[in-house]
Amino acid sequence: MGCCFSANDGYEYDDDAVSGSVNEVPRVTGVHQFTIRQYSGVKRKGVGKSVLSRNFTVAGREWFVRFYPDGYNSDTSDHVAFFLQSLYRPSCGSVYHVEFSFALLGGGDGGAVLHDVLIDRPCRFDNRNNSWGIRKYITREQLEGAALGAIHDDTLTVRCTMHVIQRRRRTSRGAGPVRVPVPPSCHAKNAMEFLLSGDAPFDLEIHVGDATFGAHRLALAGQSLYFRKLLYGQVGNEASSPVIRLQEMSPEAFGAVLHYVYHDSLPPEATTKGRNAAAMAREVFEAADMYAMERLKLMCASNLCRFIGDDTASGIMELARAHSCDPLKKACENYMKRRKDSIQP
């Protein structure tokens, strides 16, 4: 991919951006803060072109961060990307396993984390591959939006935290114990795939308005404290009945809740910008709070941030207050403050 060194283009970086700390062997931790000034000039360099941080040292090696303001490739051009790269490819036989994350920081002295993405497994840096990263870190629309508040004075700051796992080499002397690698647990994934396969018949019928949904009692109770108490916390009524009736929402909103129960995500139609998308986002948010599904509630809050505007900010803030959602309330306050500052003479 093409690249451009920001130092040659007049963009500035913190001289004291690099610091490191050593944990117990075999992990070495390093932190690098990458500040990109004149963001409006950095973007539009083109898809696949990157801005590079200064080099920093962790675990005896030189590293740097790549920022792709216009996307890593044409398939991801609506997102910005961040990559971690070693300055030189490790020599043949040398391998570095690295866990890392990129966090967008807010302005001011606190430097609050606004958006954080962690690579969930160690990446292998060797003589064949010395660069790993996140192609879809955040959409450009979200990054530049007032609700997030990541850009201050045309400046963007990201913090890269990395953990280098130093693994000792085994010698050929002596016959050490033979170990079989064990993959990460997939218990939850396997359970949901089984329930969705149809091999386990539904044991619960849910009526919402004129619509009827089939579900598994255990799946609902496992994702919602409300349904756990409703279906297993009492004797008689819904606890033993194969049918329950819900009156608090539309069938479309409950369908989104049920999709989350089985897929741990919102359905695609709940995250679009269609005509009724804002009303749907609000209704699912309220349902998530009522059913004590905190992760779904925060996902809906993030979704609602897309609809914060001059005509909606106060209404969404009232919604956030009514349902005790501080992150959504803070997003509205941030938008209104920035809007107020922009119209002052």
- Predicted confidence (pLDDT) per residue in 286-312, tens digit: 999 999 999 999 989 988 998 898 989
**Domain 26-165: assigned CATH number:** 2.60.210.10
Asked whether the predicted pLDDT for residue 171 surpasses 80, the reply is no
Global pTM value:
0.48
Asked whether the predicted pLDDT for residue 344 surpasses 60, the reply is no
**Mean of the pLDDT values across residues 272-285?**
82
92 falls in which pLDDT band (50, 70, 90)?
Answer: low
Domain span(s) for CATH 3.30.710.10 in the chain: 188-307
**Mean of the pLDDT values across residues 312-334?**
92
186 falls in which pLDDT band (50, 70, 90)?
Answer: confident
- Predicted confidence (pLDDT) per residue in 46-82, tens digit: 999 999 999 999 988 899 999 999 999 999 999 999 9
Asked whether the predicted pLDDT for residue 85 surpasses 70, the reply is yes
169 falls in which pLDDT band (50, 70, 90)?
Answer: low
**Mean of the pLDDT values across residues 130-156?**
92
**Mean of the pLDDT values across residues 234-259?**
80
**Mean of the pLDDT values across residues 229-243?**
73
Q: Which of 90-94, 223-227, 295-299 has the lowest mean pLDDT?
A: 90-94
Asked whether the predicted pLDDT for residue 143 surpasses 90, the reply is yes
Which is higher by pLDDT, 204 or 88? 204
Report phi then psi at 215, rounded to 5: -155, 170
Is the domain defined by 188-307 classed in CATH 3.30.710.10?
yes
Question: What pLDDT is recorded for position 315?
Answer: 93
Domain span(s) for CATH 2.60.210.10 in the chain: 26-165
CA distance 38 to 270: 35
- Predicted confidence (pLDDT) per residue in 13-43, tens digit: 343 444 444 444 477 889 999 999 899 888 8
Asked whether the predicted pLDDT for residue 277 surpasses 60, the reply is yes
Question: What pLDDT is recorded for position 12?
Answer: 37
Question: What pLDDT is recorded for position 19?
Answer: 44
**Mean of the pLDDT values across residues 111-122?**
87
User: Which bin fits 258, alpha (ψ -120 to 50), beta or left (φ > 0)?
Assistant: alpha
235 falls in which pLDDT band (50, 70, 90)?
Answer: low
Q: What is the overall mean pLDDT for the chain?
A: 83
